[in-house]
Structure 1
Amino acid sequence: MHVQEWLDTVPPVAVYAVVALVIGVESLGIPLPGEIVLVSAALLSSQHSGINPIVLGACASLGAVTGDSIGYAIGRKGGRPLLAWLGNKFPRHFSEGHVATAERSFEKWGMWAVFFGRFIALLRIFAGPLAGVLHMPYWKFLTANLLGGVIWAGGTTAVVYYVGIVAEDWLKRFSYFGLAAAVLVGLASMLMVRRKAQKMSAEKKEPAPVNAGE
């Protein structure tokens, strides 16, 4: 079953909880499809499903900020052995190459890596634990985490919600345009067929030409 179809079967309160939980666990360092769940829920909120986009954005933001903060604490306590353990458990996401790339990003950009990491799938998983492992000052991490989490979650919810509203309105208009176009195409086709038939009928009625030598 598609994520959006499944979310449509549960009450709005459960949708808010699922979005916050999935995004929180993903931000904590466990690879989950947080962005897919958020986009699906936001699109559902644009379809008069009873899901409030403001509450949805707030829950997504809360999950993002809380999950990253817990990930930071775990990374600070676990250190590099934690990254090695995650590499064994999730080699596709926490391979040595991915960890090295994330470390270079953090060394180069500092707290901006936490902020912009929220918008990049791979860094979104790394941001919290890696910031803790590298002992980034917590106030810097929290500032970047809070801004990135709220802008990413709230912005994604708002954009998808309004795109869904516009798309629904456009599809309604398109249905009328499509009906009108179908009628016009049908009438044009009928006229063309009638003209073709009349032309063929006229050609049959014309007398055959007489040869001069006969």
Structure 2
Amino acid sequence: MHIDHWLETVPAVSVYLLVGVVIGLESLGIPLPGEIILVSASLLAASQDHINPYILGASAIAGAVIGDSIGYLIGHKGGQPLLTWLGRKFPKHFSAEHVATAERYFQKWGMWAVFVGRFIALLRIFAGPLAGCLRMPYWKFLIANVLGGIVWAGGTTAVIYSVGKVAEDWLKRFSWLGLVAALLFGLGSMLMMKRRAKKSHAAAPEAGSGAEAASGAGPETAEPNRVPAAD
């Protein structure tokens, strides 16, 4: 079965649910790739007429707002012990350094941290639970949460969908040129990354040997200049 025919068989409801659930779980504090899912679904909507971009955007907004609100309630009930427990379960995302950074954002920006945090991967996970832990008034949190969800989820869906439509029309006209350009770009990027990696690996031993030589030469060079003690 061709990939286009397979995509046409994907139920639109399952796409809406997947986007809403993943973004909701991410917003309440579980590290998940919500933004990647939203971008992928928006590109899928651009190529598949049975997926409505308006319903997709609404699903993403609902997941963001509801998930953040649940995260706020969990943080409000759990408090600091919750952050400690999350630090043990997800040390990569809820380490003490990350929590301290997020707290500084909240102390400096207040409800704006909830709004802006929707566009930053780290704060997108932290915003709800941390706002609850810090006892931010819920009405302030709700305003920033709703506005941030609409601008981020709705805006991302609209932009990626529009870009996908333009790209699809362009590829239909110049499909083989686009394929060749993409392959050349990918190959060039891969070769450049490999070259940089080789240079960094080659430079590391040289730097280490230079440091050892410098540390070893100190006492030896100082030895000939030592004045002999008087008898």
- TM-based fold match above 0.5: yes
Matches of 1:8 and 1:36, distance apart in 2 = 21
1:209 equivalent in structure 2: none
Does residue 1:119 correspond to 2:119, yes or no? yes
CA distance change for structure 1 residues 9 and 132 in 2, over 3 Å: closer, same or farther? farther
User: SS state of the match for residue 46, structure 1?
Assistant: helix
2:212 equivalent in structure 1: none
Mapped contact 2:8–2:50 kept (Cα < 8 A) = no
Give the residue type in structure 2 aligned to 1:39. Answer: V
Does residue 1:10 correspond to 2:18, yes or no? no
Larger Rg: 1
1:164 equivalent in structure 2: 164
- Give TM-score, length-normalised by structure 1: 0.78
**1:97-132 deviations in Å (ceiling 9; x for gaps):** 000000000000000000000000000000000000
- Give TM-score, length-normalised by structure 2: 0.72
User: SS state of the match for residue 31, structure 1?
Assistant: coil
1:32 equivalent in structure 2: 32
Give the residue type in structure 1 aligned to 2:122. Answer: L
Identity %: 75
Alpha-carbon shift at residue 176 of structure 1 (Å): 8.5
Mapped contact 1:27–1:71 kept (Cα < 8 A) = yes
Alpha-carbon shift at residue 50 of structure 1 (Å): 1.1
Runs of 4+ in 1 over 3 A off after TM superposition: 6-10, 175-178
2:62 equivalent in structure 1: 62
Q: What aligned pairs does 1:71-86 form with structure 2 within 5 A after superposition?
A: 71-86=71-86
Matches of 2:101 and 2:152, distance apart in 1 = 22
1:88 equivalent in structure 2: 88
Mapped contact 2:29–2:71 kept (Cα < 8 A) = yes
Matches of 2:109 and 2:132, distance apart in 1 = 15
Mapped contact 1:7–1:41 kept (Cα < 8 A) = no
Give the residue type in structure 2 aligned to 1:83. Answer: L
Structure 2 runs not aligned, ≥5 long = 1-5, 179-231
Mapped contact 1:70–1:128 kept (Cα < 8 A) = yes
Aligned residues: 173
Matches of 1:19 and 1:90, distance apart in 2 = 23
Mapped contact 1:57–1:154 kept (Cα < 8 A) = yes
Structure 1 runs not aligned, ≥5 long = 1-5, 179-214
Matches of 1:7 and 1:43, distance apart in 2 = 12
